[in-house]
Amino acid sequence: GENVEQHPSTLSVQEGDSAVIKCTYSDSASNYFPWYKQELGKRPQLIIDIRSNVGEKKDQRIAVTLNKTAKHFSLHITETQPEDSAVYFCAAKGGANNLFFGTGTRLTVIP
Amino acid sequence: EAQVTQNPRYLITVTGKKLTVTCSQNMNHEYMSWYRQDPGLGLRQIYYSMNVEVTDKGDVPEGYKVSRKEKRNFPLILESPSPNQTSLYFCASSLFDSMNTEAFFGQGTRLTVV
């Protein structure tokens, strides 16, 4: 099955700086790559996603890049704000519709 | 309002006492799944269902059962809970589409088995 690895496990940045979280996947058949944000005590919620026919996608301060050849995708958050502090999960989905999650990154934005 | 509802939110039980965590969605989604979330391990899939009466094991199915008698409901059953099943559980639903679609999560159920 699919194996998704996520790094780093924790990340601290100063407010206004950028944050980058990286993930790799193993199954070349995976074709959908969402990112979820989980605030403390809350459920995971989708913040951005990318499909395998696209290399990059941006939504305001967040962007995701995908390198299918290297089986690598990344989340970029610019101009970080304290409300960006949360746990972020990457995931990969293949033909069976199953989502395989990374182990999460705890992002702390220091005011 | 489109939502996935889990009950209960919190549960403390004793080893061996059967319990059921309910999950219901109102979005007519075909696909439903259960995950457990443990520190450092992320979200691991327990069971999933592609439609009514169609269920299959995920990555960590041992000690769990599920059923899908109706499209909207997907209960998680622990026949004989053990302390290593202490965890945060999430139910999720989505349309059955491999190229698309957001998974919507329930509020979570924090289970403690003593």
Q: What is the DSSP string of A31-42?
A: -EEEEEEE-TTS
Q: Say yes or no: B39 contacts chain A, CB-CB below 8 A.
A: no
Beta bridge partner(s), residue A101:
A91
In contact, B71 and B51? CB cutoff 8 Å: yes
A contacts of B39 (beta carbons < 8 Å): none
Beta bridge partner(s), residue B88:
B37, B110
> pLDDT at position B55, please?
95
Beta strands in chain A (DSSP E): 4-7, 10-14, 19-25, 32-38, 45-51, 56-59, 62-67, 72-77, 86-93, 99-101, 105-110
In contact, B24 and B5? CB cutoff 8 Å: yes
Residue B50 to residue A95, Cβ atoms within 8 A: no
| Phi and psi torsions of B52, nearest 5° | -55, 135
Residue B98 to residue A32, Cβ atoms within 8 A: yes
In contact, A1 and A27? CB cutoff 8 Å: yes
Most A-contacting residue of B98, B104, B109 (CB-CB within 10 A), to test interface: B98
Q: Mind listing the pLDDT tens digit of every residue in chain B (114 residues)? A: 879 999 999 999 999 999 999 999 999 999 999 999 999 899 999 999 999 999 999 999 999 999 999 999 999 999 999 999 999 999 999 987 655 678 999 999 999 999
CA separation for the pair B84, B64 (Å, rounded): 12
Q: What angle do CA A99, B68, B31 make, to 5 degrees?
A: 30
CA separation for the pair A68, B35 (Å, rounded): 27
- Summarised one tens digit per residue, pLDDT across range A67-94 is 999 999 999 999 999 999 999 999 998 7
| Phi and psi torsions of B55, nearest 5° | -130, 155
User: Of all residues in chain A, what percent carry a pLDDT higher than 90?
Assistant: 83
